[in-house]
């Protein structure tokens, strides 16, 4: 039984301009034919078109469902690749290529320990909080009584 590999690509959304192609339907058909012929040159056979739902983020917390048109292509696997089923023996030439030594990546140096800054501890006297208001310069420092009167 032949085995296949599959390729899924999004369908074109817009038509392609070409000489002699006037209407939007003809441009879209031209775009689709161009895509299908490009895949066929690489050995891919058109199988079907599927419309599939996809969840997308909308805003920060919302999601919305959109539908994407996808073209499905397939091509037959070569006999060597088709014989590689899970648990099957690997051919000798493939096994020797896979057994070739591979350089180990360079070890990653550990990051330096984070430096900790001393914690700021402020001890305030207990009692009423000072009035909150706009910042004042030195020349306004005598107006504290006026500020308390305005708050009261």
Q: Please report whether residue 140 resides in a domain.
A: no
Residue 152 lies in a domain: no
Which residue segment(s) compose the domain that 70 sits in?
A: 4-83
What confidence category does residue 108 fall into, taking pLDDT thresholds of 50, 70 and 90? Answer: low
- Give me the pLDDT at residue 95, please: 47
Q: What is the pLDDT of residue 18?
A: 87
On the question of pLDDT at 37 being above 70, the answer is yes
In a domain, 103, yes or no: no
Question: Does residue 70 belong to any structural domain of this protein?
Answer: yes
8 occurs within a structural domain: yes
Q: Which of 2-16, 69-83, 105-119 is the least confident region?
A: 105-119
Classify 51 as helix, strand or coil.
strand
What total of structural domains would you count in the chain? 1
In a domain, 131, yes or no: no
Q: Given a cut of 60, is residue 1 above it in pLDDT?
A: yes
Three-state DSSP state, 27: helix
Find the range with the poorest average confidence among 10-14, 83-87, 106-110, 115-119. Answer: 83-87
DSSP 8-state assignment for residue 59:
T
Q: What is the pLDDT of residue 115?
A: 63
Answer whether 152's CB lies under 8 Å from 131's CB. no
Is residue 149 a part of any domain in this protein? no
* Average pLDDT over the chain, rounded to an integer: 76
């Amino acid at each position: 039984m032949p085995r296949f590999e599959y390729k899924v690509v999004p369908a074109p959304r817009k038509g392609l301009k070409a000489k002699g192609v006037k209407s939007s339907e003809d441009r879209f058909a031209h775009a689709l034919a161009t895509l299908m012929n490009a895949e066929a040159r690489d050995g891919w056979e058109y199988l079907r078109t599927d419309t599939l739902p996809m969840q997308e983020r909308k805003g920060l917390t919302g999601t919305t469902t959109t539908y994407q048109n996808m073209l499905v292509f397939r091509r037959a696997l070569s006999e060597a690749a088709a014989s590689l089923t899970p648990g099957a023996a690997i051919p000798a030439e493939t096994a020797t290529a896979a057994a070739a030594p591979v350089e180990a990546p360079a070890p990653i140096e550990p990051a330096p320990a984070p430096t900790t800054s001393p914690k700021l501890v402020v001890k305030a006297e207990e009692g009423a909080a000072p009035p909150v208001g706009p910042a004042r310069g030195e020349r306004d420092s005598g107006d504290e009584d006026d500020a308390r009167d305005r708050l009261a």
